[in-house]
Structure 1
């Protein structure tokens, strides 16, 4: 069973965008492994709260202007 675990900042993606990611990742796995894997493919999109991630000693907060609008 193909499995993808995608982590994104909280509020960075709308529900529609998350659904599109699920469809595209599933299609990608089907391209690699064949159509039969679609029914067994799991795509998990996890959201990480603001301040719960960072890089190079900088903690990230998603600016209001970049937050998804559902």
Structure 2
């Protein structure tokens, strides 16, 4: 079963953007492995609470002046 797990900042993607990401990821797996994988493809989008992730010892937060996805 092909499986993709995306971790994104909380409220960074709208419902439509999540749906698009799921469709495009599924299409990528079908392109790579053939149509037989479509029914078994799993795409999980996890929203990480603001400040709950970082890189190189730097904690990331979404700037307050950026609008949240709707």
Alignment partners' CA distance in 1, 2:40 and 2:10:
27
Residue number in structure 2 paired with 1:26: 26
- 1:7 aligns with 7
Deviation at 1:13?
0.5
After TM superposition, give the deviation of residue 66 of structure 1 in Å: 4.6
Is 1:36 equivalent to 2:2 in the alignment?
A: no
Q: In 2, distance between residues paired with 1:30 and 1:66?
A: 34
C-alpha distance in 2, partners of 1:16/1:10? 15
Name the TM-score, length of structure 1 as normaliser: 0.91
Root-mean-square deviation (CA, aligned residues, Å) is 1.1
Give 1 or 2: higher helix fraction: 1
Q: CA deviation at 1:53?
A: 0.4
Structure 2 length normalisation: TM-score?
A: 0.91
